[in-house]
Amino acid sequence: MTKEKHSPGKAAEKEPTARTTKEKKRGQEKKRKSNSLEHDEAKKNKVKKEEDEYEDKKEESEKKAKQAEEEADKWKWWEEGKHAENGQKWRSLEHKGPLFPPEYEPLPSSVSFLYNGTPVILRPATEEVATFYAKMLDHEFTTKEVFQNNFFTDWKEVMTETERQLISDLSQCDFSNIHKYFVEKTEEKRNMTKEEKQVLKEEANKLTEEYGYCLLDGHREKIGNFRVEPPGLFRGRGEHPKMGKLKKRVQPEDVIINCSKDVKIPEPPPGHRWKKVQHDNTVTWLASWVENIHGHIKYIMLNPSSKLKGEKDWQKYETARKLKLSVDSIRSEYQSAWTSCEMKQRQYGVALYFIDKLALRAGNEKDDDTADTVGCCSLRVEHINLHRHLDSLDYVVEFDFLGKDSIRYYNKVPVEKQVYKNLKLFMNSKNPDDDLFDRISTTYLNKKLNEAMPGLTAKVFRTFNASTTLQEQLNQLTTDDMTLPEKILAYNRANRAVAILCNHQRAAPKTFEKSMQLLQEKIKKKQEEVEKAKKELKQAKKEHKQLPSEVSKKLVQKMEKTVKRLLEQLKKLQLLETDRNENKVIALGTSKLNYLDPRISVACKKGGVETGFPL
Q: Annotated active-site positions, please? A: 595
Tell me which long-range contacts 566-571 makes (C-beta under 8 A, separation of at least 24): 566/526, 566/529, 566/530, 566/533, 567/530, 568/483, 569/526, 570/523, 570/526, 570/527, 570/530, 571/483, 571/485
The rounded radius of gyration (Å) of the Cα atoms in the chain is 34
Contact present, 348 and 336 (Cβ < 8 Å):
no
Report the distance separating Cα 251 and Cα 395, nearest Å: 57
Query: How far is residue 375's CA from residue 362's CA, in Å, rounded to a whole number?
Result: 5
8 A C-beta contact, residue 263 and residue 574: no
Alpha carbon 318 to chain centroid, angstroms: 27
Give whole-number Cα distances, 232 to 45, 252, 256, in Å.
45, 18, 22
Determine contact, residues 592/495, Cβ cutoff 8 Å: yes
- In sequence order, the 6+-apart residues with CB closer than 8 A to the CB of 275 are 252, 253, 254, 255, 256, 289
Print burial letters for 437-462: b (CB count within 10 Å at least 16), e (below 16). Answer: beebbbebbbebbeeebeebbbbbbb
**Nearest-CA neighbor of 94 among 254, 266, 301, 226?**
266
Q: How many CB atoms lie within 10 A of CB 12?
A: 11
CB-CB neighbours of 229 under 10 Å:
13
Query: Cβ-count burial of 237 within 10 angstroms (0-12 exposed, 13-18 middle, 19+ buried)?
Result: middle
C-alpha–C-alpha distance, residues 368 and 100, integer Å: 32
Distance CA 72, CA 176 (A): 53
Cα–Cα distance for residue pair 243/226, rounded to 1 Å: 25
DSSP conformational letter for 385? E
SS (H, E, C) 454-467: CCCCHHHHHHHHHH
Instruction: List the 256-258 sheet strands across, edge first.
Output: 276-278, 256-258, 287-290, 297-300
> Within a 13 Å sphere around the CA of 477, how many CA atoms are in the beta-carbon half?
19
User: Where do the H-state alpha helices sit in 238-342?
Assistant: 307-336
Which ranges in 74-191 belong to alpha helices (H)? 124-135, 145-158, 161-166, 176-190
CB atoms under 10 Å from CB of 93, counted, come to 23
| 3-class DSSP assignment, residue 232 | strand
In single-letter form, the type of residue at position 378 comes to S
